[in-house]
Amino acid sequence: MTGAPVVSLPGACARVFGREVRLAARRFGQILQPVTFFLMVTTLFPLALSPEPSLLRNIAPGVVWVGALLSSLLSLEALFRVDLDDGTLEQLLLSGQPLAGLLAAKMLAHWLLTGVPLVLAAPLAAASLSVPADALPVLMVSVALGTGIIGFVGAIGAALTLAGRRGSVLLSLLVLPLVMPVLIFGARATDLAIRGEPAAGGIWLLLAMLILAITLAPLAAAAAVRICLE
């Protein structure tokens, strides 16, 4: 009698990733919520201030990045909360696979499902703020990197606040100070691109921060999940 087949770590991560995608397809409204909030924030500023293109270009970096930051925070509360309630986190812990690897697959899926729609919506937000077309590549790349950093760093906060009843408030207090550099460098790179100046420095800094977040965030989140489940 042969035993059950052993699933490798890449195979287990692929299953976790696929599960997240299938669940997101069933809850499509949750994917649209951050994008809708992002577009609402960025398109309301021209109505509230002035349609003057020069003024809108000056405030565009800050408006776009504040909108992207707040939109990314909206979906973090449910990152682990639903899995805690239905027992999925316990199953992942008892699966025999490294918990950090499985959570990394979950974080990657969350980034793609929430960050990519924001990247695709960025040109619409930029158009409402009179951002020149030449600055769009830098804007989209920086938003892609920035949402990844916010997602991975925010996952640590989501794991740390699993045991709390008001996790959303505490989560924002924990994550916002940690992602302030993302807001600063992302807005600066966007501002330089709008002015027609080289913005590679900010992009490289965001990329380095993303690599660091991908490396450390799954380990920290796994430790926090273990503490919560004990």
pLDDT digits (tens, 9 = 90+) for 114-146: 888 999 999 998 888 888 889 899 999 999 999
The pLDDT of residue 26 is 77
Is 194:131 a contact under the CB 8 Å cutoff?
yes
- 199-215, pLDDT tens digit by residue? 888 899 999 999 999 99
Task: Read off the pLDDT band of 4 (50, 70, 90).
Answer: very low
CA–CA distance, 107 with 16 (Å, rounded to integer): 10
Tokens of 193: 């691109």
Mean pLDDT value across the chain: 85
The pLDDT of residue 210 is 94
CA 142 to chain centroid: 12
Task: Read off the pLDDT band of 90 (50, 70, 90).
Answer: confident
Arithmetic mean of pLDDT, 27-31: 73
Task: Read off the pLDDT band of 13 (50, 70, 90).
Answer: confident
- 101-117, pLDDT tens digit by residue? 889 999 999 889 888 89
CB atoms within 10 A of CB 134: 10
Tokens of 225: 């999940």
- Which residue do the tokens 């950093």 mark? 149
SS3 of 27, please? coil
Give the domain ranges of the chain: 9-229
